[in-house]
Amino acid sequence: MAVTAAVDERRQLRRAVVASTVGTSIEWYDFFLYSTATGLVFAKLFFPKSDPVVATLNVFLIYAVGFIARPIGAAIFGHYGDRIGRKATLIATLLLMGVATFLIGFVPSYASIGIWGAVLLVVLRFIQGVGVGGEWGGSVLLSMEWGHKGRRGLIASWPQFGVPVGLFLANGALLIMSNLAGPAGFANWGWRVPFYFSIVLVAVGLYVRLRVLETPLFQRLLEAKRIEPTPVLEVIRRNWKEILQSAFLRLSEQAPFYIFTAYVFTYGTTVLKQPRNFVLYAVLAASVLSFFSIPLFGYVSDRIGRKRMYMAGVAVMGVWGFIYFGLLDTKVAALMFIAIFLSLIPHDMQYGPQAALIAESFTGRLRYSGASLGYQLASVIAGGPAPLIATTLFAGPKFLGIGAYKTSLAIALYILVCAVISFIAVSMVRDRSKQDISAEYDEQPSVARVAVAPQPTQA
């Protein structure tokens, strides 16, 4: 019987990891599809009468709306994830995200309905943000709460693996359509096809997720009647410090990521005058490298500790911005490709262990709400504004005397500032890499005793 139970448990763990990774990949495909299209075609399609810099700022403002919506999605779905379960909530987020992305493909351009096309983009981008805001916490917990305590960093990194997969699929789909449709056809209709395709991916994701059982940890909470009536309010009251720490430690990971994967299209094609496909190929190559580096650094965090791994990544990111833009600004194709190809390694050093580091900061009955709020709050202060800030720093217009420096050094300094803030934040986080997360934290002995006490084999 014990052997049968162990085999069944391993099977469910595999299903949970696959369901989390596949679903997250699809949701990030949807999210990144908009990001890439923003840098390639949206400025000309929806703001054709604006100055090019102003048009770029306008589409990045719409782009930022999705990030503003993410904490709202975290609060909504965090509540239900801690009340009714991880699985049901994840099905809802997948549907919401997929339908919104599908509909973006039908939005008429400025030539057809004027400014109302941009208005529709704002609405659909907001819905996208709500969906992805609720997705991350559930996908991480669906994997991590089935996983063994000694492998939580690796197991929780697999939903993070969905980010480069989604990035690869989004850029790959647009690259294929760019080649098939040609410049004029791509601007007219080619960019829409990958958005239509998202509905097919949603069907695949639903099939996979419907076959997964709820996590045993949440089932025990249900049986023990430990479900909080208002988990979002409770986690804000009890763990506001951990929420803020989670948000600020992400600055050095998220802000550079969207500079390296979204703003780079604007910088590469308009400032450096490089072909669109060259930048697409380079970002594709970077995403493939992340297929290996994200789980690798999640695994390393299980060996050396979550905080130590993360702080190393923050330190590397602090100097990487200067190297990255230094190589890009040479305008030598080989050096530019190397810069973009390696650009996500400092990000992955943080992103691999990040899911477990944040999720472990919150006790089980509040984990979906707390981890989601902390993770998605960073989207408002880091991910969303990053391309806007980069555009302003380089090309203007000036804001409060800041901007239009006409040098990438200003953007590299911005990345360094983010790294300093994150380093301080992560230094204050309690490392729970070796702690048992299957029991509620307020029912365990002191942290000092937990650290040395024998641990259960299952977390």
pLDDT tens digit sequence for 192-235: 999 998 888 888 888 888 888 888 888 888 888 889 999 999 99
- pLDDT at res. 432: 87
Residue 175's pLDDT band (cuts 50, 70, 90): confident
- pLDDT at res. 121: 87
Residue 181 near residue 189, CB atoms below 8 Å: yes
Token reading at 100:
């919104």
Residue 301 lies in a domain: yes
Residue 280 near residue 457, CB atoms below 8 Å: no
Peptide bond into 397 cis (omega under 30): yes
In the chain, % of residues over pLDDT 70: 92
CATH number for the domain that contains residue 212: 1.20.1250.20
Residue 457 lies in a domain: no
Residue 48's pLDDT band (cuts 50, 70, 90): confident
Residue 161 near residue 136, CB atoms below 8 Å: no
Question: Cα dist. 296→103, 149, 326 in Å?
Answer: 36, 17, 27
Question: Cα dist. 390→35, 58, 120, 150, 421 in Å?
Answer: 15, 14, 25, 40, 18
Token reading at 308:
């130590």
Residue 7's pLDDT band (cuts 50, 70, 90): low
More confident call, 137 vs 243: 243
Residue 450's pLDDT band (cuts 50, 70, 90): very low
More confident call, 277 vs 320: 320
Residue 10 lies in a domain: yes
Residue 398's pLDDT band (cuts 50, 70, 90): low
Q: What is the mean pLDDT of the chain?
A: 86
Residue 187 near residue 76, CB atoms below 8 Å: no
Residue 79 lies in a domain: yes
Output the CA torsion sign for 66, 67, 68, 71. positive
In the chain, % of residues over pLDDT 90: 41
Residue 361 near residue 311, CB atoms below 8 Å: no
More confident call, 191 vs 146: 191
Q: How far, in Å, CA of 364 to CA of 288, rounded?
A: 33
The pTM of the full predicted model, rounded to 2 decimals, is: 0.84
> Best-predicted range by mean pLDDT among 85-99, 224-238, 339-353?
339-353
Residue 445 lies in a domain: yes
Average pLDDT over every residue of 8-20: 78
DSSP bridge pairs for 399:
402
Residue 459 lies in a domain: no
Average pLDDT over every residue of 43-63: 80
How far is residue 422 CA from its own chain's centroid? 17
Residue 154 lies in a domain: yes
- pLDDT at res. 6: 54
Beta-carbon contacts of residue 225 (< 8 Å; ≥ 6 apart): none
Q: Domain range holding 68?
A: 2-452
Domain count, the chain: 1
Residue 237's pLDDT band (cuts 50, 70, 90): very high
Question: Cα dist. 375→16, 118, 213, 282, 359 in Å?
Answer: 21, 28, 25, 28, 9
Residue 262 lies in a domain: yes
- Report the candidate in 326, 301, 313 with the shortest Cα–Cα distance to residue 433: 301
- Residue 78 CB neighbours (<10 A): 28
